[in-house]
Structure 1
Amino acid sequence: MSIHEVARESGLSGPTLRYYEQVGLIGPVERDENSHRMYGADDVRVVQTLSCLRAVGMGIEDMRRYVANLERRGETAAEQRDLLLQHAERVEEEMAAKRVRLAYLRAKAAMWDARDRQDAAAETEATDEVRRAGLELRVIA
Structure 2
Amino acid sequence: MNIGEFAARSGVSADTLRYYEKIGVLRQIARNASGHRVFDKGDLDWIAFVTRLKDTGMPLAGIREYARLRHQGAATAARRRALLEDHAAALEQRLARAQDSLSLIRAKIAWYQGQEEPL
Q: Give the TM-score band, short-chain normalised.
A: 0.7 to 0.9
| Change over 3 Å in CA distance of 1:110–1:71 after alignment to 2 | same
Q: Structure 1 CA distance, aligned partners of 2:111 and 2:33?
A: 66
Q: Distance in 2 between matches of 1:45 and 1:70?
A: 14
- Residues 121-141 of structure 1: CA deviation (Å, up to 9, x unaligned): xxxxxxxxxxxxxxxxxxxxx
Q: Is the 8 A contact 1:29 1:38 kept in 2?
A: yes
CA distance in 1, matches of 2:7, 2:49: 13
| Partner residue, 1:116 | 116
Shift of 1:117: 4.8
Cα deviations by residue, 1:73-119 (Å, 9 ceiling, x for unpaired): 2211111111001000110111111112111211111111111158x
Structure 2 contact 24–67 (Cα < 8 Å) conserved: no
In structure 2, do the counterparts of structure 1 residues 86 and 30 end up closer, same or farther at CA, with 3 Å as the change threshold? same
TM-score normalized with structure 1 length: 0.69
Q: How far apart are 1:29 and its partner, in Å?
A: 3.8
- Length-normalised TM-score, structure 2: 0.80
Superposition CA RMSD, Å = 2.3
2:64 maps to a residue whose letter is: R
Mark the runs of 5 or more structure 2 residues left unpaired by the alignment.
Answer: none
Letter in 1 for 2:70: L
> Residue 87 of structure 1 aligns to which amino acid in structure 2?
H
* Structure 1 residue 34 displacement after superposition: 5.3
Larger Rg: 1
**SS of aligned partner of 1:71:** helix
1:69 corresponds to: 69
Q: Aligned residue for 2:106? A: 106
Is the contact between residue 3 and residue 38 of structure 1 (CA under 8 Å) also seen in structure 2?
yes
Percent identity, please.
32
The alignment covers a number of residue pairs equal to 118
Higher relative contact order (CA 8 A, sep 6+): 2
> Which stretches in structure 1 are left out of the alignment for 5+ residues?
119-141
